[in-house]
Copies of this chain bind each other. A is one copy, B any other.
Amino acid sequence: MSFDNERQGASTVNRRKATMRDVAMLAGVSVKTVSRVVNDEPNVSEAVRAQVVSAIDRLGFEKNLMASSVRRSDGRTHSIGLLVPDISNPHWGRLTRKITDLLQERRYALLTGSNDRDSEIEEALLRAFTARQVDGLIIVPSVSETTSRQRQLIANIPTLYIDGLPRTGGADAVISDNEGGIRQAVEHLWKIGHVDIAYIGDEQFMSSARERSHGFREAMLERGVIPRPDRFILNIASQQSAREAAASLLGSDTPPTAVICGNNTAMLGVLHEVHARGEQDSVALIGFDDHEMASVVRPGITVIAQDEVALAQTIVDCLLRRLDESDSSHEGEIVRIPVSLICRGSGEIPPRSQAPL
């Protein structure tokens, strides 16, 4: 016959996590006292505190934040949900990195997801976040909140919108100066003689894309140019379609002398086509969002760069400030972060001398 209970628990295996009760027993105090020490509450004598701290160390105790959340009156988990279009896009990757780091300093953990501009994926992710009781949300509103369902999901959660305007009133938003950036780009090209400038922009359901295309249109109109439809290409969502748009532009009898791209994906598509045609030194190009390789290619790529450090800092500040507020009678605040033009060559190519008719 064999022993019904094999020797277990003798080694370090199978040792369940220590709880406040374990700590309390070892330290010879009540659970509440342990709780006080763990949460840095007052009214604990130094002697007892030391005793408890020692027990915590010996047992390797760690507070179960989930149990804490269940009991707390505010239900806080010290977790934040971050929802971006695509974390593998360099811009969102860098921003995510900076936001995580800043939140980590304040002991917040980050739940992340990419919605891929798909409403169903987005709803599933929001559901995953809310079911885990996140304290706050950072959302890029692409297709979000089109349904009342989604609005209801996050109704009671402090939400900060980034890169786009909230559809709901009363919410905060941190957004780059999209219109100003494109205006800078147009002005930059205009100064060196470009008149026939094309714009390739993203899907217009995103407010950031609308602001950028609007900036282009306005800047051109102010200079007396009414952008022709074939110079104002919108709703380009992939690198491939951007490349096709560029091919059509550059392959025409009267190609534009400069192209402005509304995001980094479009820029890559256009760049690909420009280099394939060997026209990298004859057509001016300005992209939106910086890129690791922007200074490696020849010529270097001139871009309108978002200030990712300022964005991340502002995003975290705004969200945490909102979390600290008890009242929700707060007016939605929209913070604009300036962008900057980084000149590397591709945007400084002069227009081809136009032979008079």
Contact = CB atoms under 8 A, between A and B. Distances in A.
A112 B114 contact: no
A298 interface: yes
Nearest to A134: B109
A310 interface: no
Given A87-B93, A128-B107, A64 B60 contact: no
A307 interface: no
Given A94-B88, A156-B17, A125 B104 contact: yes
A132 interface: yes
Copies in the complex: 2
B86 A328 contact: no
Interface stretch (A8-16, A47-55, A199-207, A318-326): A8-16
B66 A133 contact: yes
B77 A12 contact: no
A291 interface: yes
Contacts of A292: 90, 268, 291, 293
Task: Give the secondary structure class of A's interface.
Answer: mixed
Contact of A16 (B131, B153, B156): B156
B77 A66 contact: yes
A192 interface: no
A132 B109 CA distance: 9
A132 B65 contact: yes
B62 A70 contact: no
A183 to B, nearest CB: 27
A188 interface: no
A160 interface: no
A15 B272 CA distance: 53
Contacts of A152: 12, 60
A155 B60 CA distance: 11
B101 A114 contact: yes
Nearest to A152: B60
A62 B114 contact: no
A79 interface: yes
Interface string A99-120: 0110010010111111000000
A223 interface: no
A7 B261 CA distance: 49
Contacts of A100: 87, 112-114
Contact of A97 (B114, B132, B272): B114
**Can you list the 10 inter-chain pairs with the closest CB atoms, starting with the nearest?**
A93-B93, A88-B97, A66-B66, A293-B293, A88-B94, A88-B93, A67-B70, A109-B128, A65-B131, A112-B112
Interface of A: 12-13, 15-17, 60, 62-67, 69-70, 77, 79, 86-90, 93-94, 96-97, 100-101, 104, 107, 109-114, 121, 124-125, 127-133, 152-153, 155-156, 268, 271-272, 275, 291-293, 295-298, 328
23 contacts: A15-B156, A62-B130, A65-B131, A65-B132, A66-B70, A66-B132, A70-B70, A86-B97, A87-B93, A87-B100, A88-B96, A93-B93, A96-B112, A97-B114, A104-B124, A104-B128, A110-B111, A271-B293, A275-B298, A291-B293, A292-B293, A296-B297, A297-B297
Given A62-B131, A66-B133, 8 more contacts: A12-B152, A60-B153, A65-B132, A66-B132, A88-B94, A90-B90, A272-B296, A275-B298
